């Protein structure tokens, strides 16, 4: 006898077999606007389903997942809203931790996820999934089979709850200012708290989905410490540069393109670039017009992070490091200085940096050496003196004096330690960005060169990400060195001790 499959059973089977089909069929239960099914939605759904299938089968995870993608790309709907509901259609015992930068946002995403479970369509297709009467709140609801979804804000605790999957959706507010403390707190929470809330560390995968905001944001920190096979990184900038034939442009056109359009976030995996249309990831929702307006609203750095998935704007940040020539320095100098930017507090995690800069007879500025480390006050003063001995008495020494009595005392200690050398105690004023600008102008004007050394990479990385670099000591020391080396000789020779 031929078996007749009901319409509901067929639709339920289609949804269970494909997370993407589930998202399409349940879209209208939580989103009032008509959907635009750009290619990236299916791609993300399929990638997430691969991870979820291993959880359903009780198999060890292959990797954790980072997704960097623009706002307005359906990321929260897919990962934070739809995923738990779909997973329960297959595994009603699955437990989720879903976090966002603010508890109210995390709770709102949780509310939308619960709307799907309680919708007429879901209850009709998956009648075996029901929510427990004893645990059914916006922020934490559970199935009668033991599954659950708990919402948490960045830094929040999740006592007594262990998850089969962890979803972190925007751990830092992309639309608000944030500090290094915020970055560190978010990183510590992801690195120390969330891993203790897994059903099984070998089984439970973590999905981090966010826009790039800083060199040391949770994406940057995780990529820096993760093993090559432990993490999959999906990066989908809103736009990528269209190939341009430089031979067909005149000099003025080339300079304009070089400075503005040739460096943006890289697509990862790179084969996904073939889905872009005229350089756009989503030409309907993130059209050229929409992106141009977003860049005007957010500014270069905000747009670079949130839409290009790079903490560095197009064409580079304040410093165009590709314009620094690494070469063998000359033997004769107009002037050489070593400028020290000292860590304000011992044990704070900041670096002390001493940049040796010279001005040659052709008017070029040279970065000759960088001494950098995290030392206590005794070690620091010993290293500063030893460096002065190596540099020689013809090198002028600049020392930044931090504000307050502590900064004055520290600077005076260094002054006494360097008796016999020409020393200038510098009391900088104004913002760091303003002080760095004269040096940046020279870098971008191709008048700065650099001696080859093991310190080159760390130095160039800091310049590249400035002013959103993890550390700022080398730029601060370079700004001070440039101001000092560029002074008239008679002023430099008269510096007080």
**Domains by residue range for the chain, with CATH:** 7-236 (3.40.50.300), 246-306 (no CATH), 321-493 (3.30.420.280)
Give CA separation, 269 vs 63, 68, 276, in Å: 15, 12, 13
d(CA 144, CA 131): 6
Give me the residues paired with residue 354 across strands: 340, 371
CB 496 within 8 A of CB 397: no
Q: What is the pLDDT of residue 3?
A: 56
Q: What is the pLDDT of residue 63?
A: 96
Residue recorded with tokens 């645990």: 135
Give me the residues paired with residue 239 across strands: 280
Pairing relationship of beta strands 231-236 and 206-210 according to DSSP bridges = unpaired
Q: What is the pLDDT of residue 494?
A: 38
d(CA 14, CA 7): 11
Neighbours of 365 (CB within 10 A): 22
3-state secondary structure of 81: helix
b (16+ CB within 10 A) / e for 317-337: bbbbbeebeeeebeeebebbb
Q: What is the pLDDT of residue 287?
A: 96
CB 338 within 8 A of CB 395: yes
Q: What is the pLDDT of residue 338?
A: 96
CA-CA-CA-CA torsion for 208, 224, 220, 51, nearest 10 degrees? -20
Q: What is the pLDDT of residue 464?
A: 85
Pairing relationship of beta strands 131-136 and 165-169 according to DSSP bridges = unpaired
Q: What is the pTM of this model?
A: 0.72
| Cβ-Cβ contacts under 8 Å for 323 (sequence gap 6 or more) | 443, 444, 445, 446, 448
Tens-binned pLDDT, residue by residue, of the chain (497 aa): 455 568 889 999 999 999 999 999 999 999 999 999 999 999 999 999 999 999 999 999 999 999 999 999 999 999 999 999 999 999 999 999 999 999 999 999 999 999 999 999 999 999 999 999 888 888 899 999 999 999 999 999 888 899 999 999 999 998 776 777 888 899 999 999 999 999 999 999 999 999 998 888 999 999 988 876 789 999 999 998 754 443 444 444 434 433 333 334 589 999 999 999 999 999 999 999 999 999 888 887 788 889 999 887 665 678 888 899 999 999 999 999 999 998 865 555 689 999 999 999 999 999 999 999 999 888 999 999 999 999 999 999 999 887 766 677 788 888 888 998 999 988 888 888 888 989 999 998 999 999 999 999 999 989 988 887 878 899 999 999 999 998 855 433 334 43
CA-CA-CA-CA torsion for 342, 432, 154, 79, nearest 10 degrees? -130
Give CA separation, 45 vs 52, 142, 190, 221, in Å: 10, 23, 23, 25
Give me the residues paired with residue 100 across strands: 153
CB 56 within 8 A of CB 81: no
CB 61 within 8 A of CB 205: yes
CB 401 within 8 A of CB 370: no
Q: What is the pLDDT of residue 405?
A: 64
d(CA 126, CA 213): 40
| Cβ-Cβ contacts under 8 Å for 467 (sequence gap 6 or more) | 317, 318, 432, 433, 436
CB 165 within 8 A of CB 154: no
3-state secondary structure of 158: coil
């Amino acid at each position: 006898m031929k078996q007749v499959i009901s319409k509901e059973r067929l639709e339920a089977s289609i949804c269970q077999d494909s997370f993407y089909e589930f998202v399409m069929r349940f879209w209208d239960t939580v989103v009032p606007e008509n959907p635009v099914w750009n290619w990236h939605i299916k791609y993300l759904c399929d990638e997430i389903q691969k991870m979820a299938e291993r959880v359903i089968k009780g198999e060890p995870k292959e990797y954790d997942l980072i997704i960097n993608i623009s706002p307005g790309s359906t990321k929260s709907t897919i990962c934070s809203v739809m995923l738990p509901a779909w997973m329960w259609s297959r595994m009603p015992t699955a437990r989720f931790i879903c976090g966002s930068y603010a508890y109210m946002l995390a709770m709102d995403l949780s509310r939308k996820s619960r709307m799907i479970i309680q919708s007429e369509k879901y209850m009709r297709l998956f009648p075996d999934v029901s929510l427990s009467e004893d645990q059914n709140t916006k922020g934490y609801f559970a199935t009668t089979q033991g599954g659950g979804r708990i919402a948490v804000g960045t830094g929040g605790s999740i006592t007594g709850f262990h998850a089969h999957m962890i979803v972190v959706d925007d751990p830092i507010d992309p639309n608000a200012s944030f500090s290094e403390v915020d970055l560190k707190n978010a990183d510590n929470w992801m690195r120390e708290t969330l891993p203790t809330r897994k059903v099984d560390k070998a089984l439970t995968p973590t999905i981090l989905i966010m826009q790039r905001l800083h060199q040391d944001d949770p994406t940057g920190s995780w990529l820096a410490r993760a093993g090559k096979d432990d993490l999959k990184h999906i990066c989908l900038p809103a736009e990528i540069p269209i190939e341009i034939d430089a031979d067909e442009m005149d000099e003025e056109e080339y300079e304009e393109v070089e400075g503005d359009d040739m460096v943006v976030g890289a697509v990862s995996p790179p084969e996904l670039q073939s889905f872009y249309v005229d350089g756009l990831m989503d030409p309907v929702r993130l059209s050229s017009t929409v992106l141009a307006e977003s860049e005007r609203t957010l500014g270069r750095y905000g747009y670079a992070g949130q839409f290009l998935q790079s903490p560095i704007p197009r064409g580079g940040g304040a410093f165009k490091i590709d314009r620094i020539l690494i070469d063998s320095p000359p033997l004769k100098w107009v002037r050489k200085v070593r400028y020290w930017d000292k860590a304000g507090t011992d044990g704070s995690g900041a670096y002390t940096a001493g940049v040796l800069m010279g001005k040659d007879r052709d008017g070029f500025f040279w970065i000759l050496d960088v001494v950098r480390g995290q030392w206590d006050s005794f070690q620091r003063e010993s290293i500063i003196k030893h460096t002065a001995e190596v540099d020689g008495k013809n090198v002028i020494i600049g020392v930044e004096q931090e504000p307050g009595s502590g900064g004055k005392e520290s600077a005076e200690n260094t002054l006494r330690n360097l008796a016999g050398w020409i020393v200038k105690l510098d009391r900088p004023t104004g913002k760091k960005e303003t002080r760095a600008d004269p040096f940046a102008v020279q870098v971008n004007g191709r008048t700065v060169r650099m001696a080859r050394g093991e310190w080159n990479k760390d130095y160039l990385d800091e310049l590249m990400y400035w002013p959103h670099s993890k550390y700022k000591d080398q730029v601060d020391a370079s700004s001070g060195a440039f101001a000092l080396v560029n002074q008239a000789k008679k002023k430099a020779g008269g510096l007080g001790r």
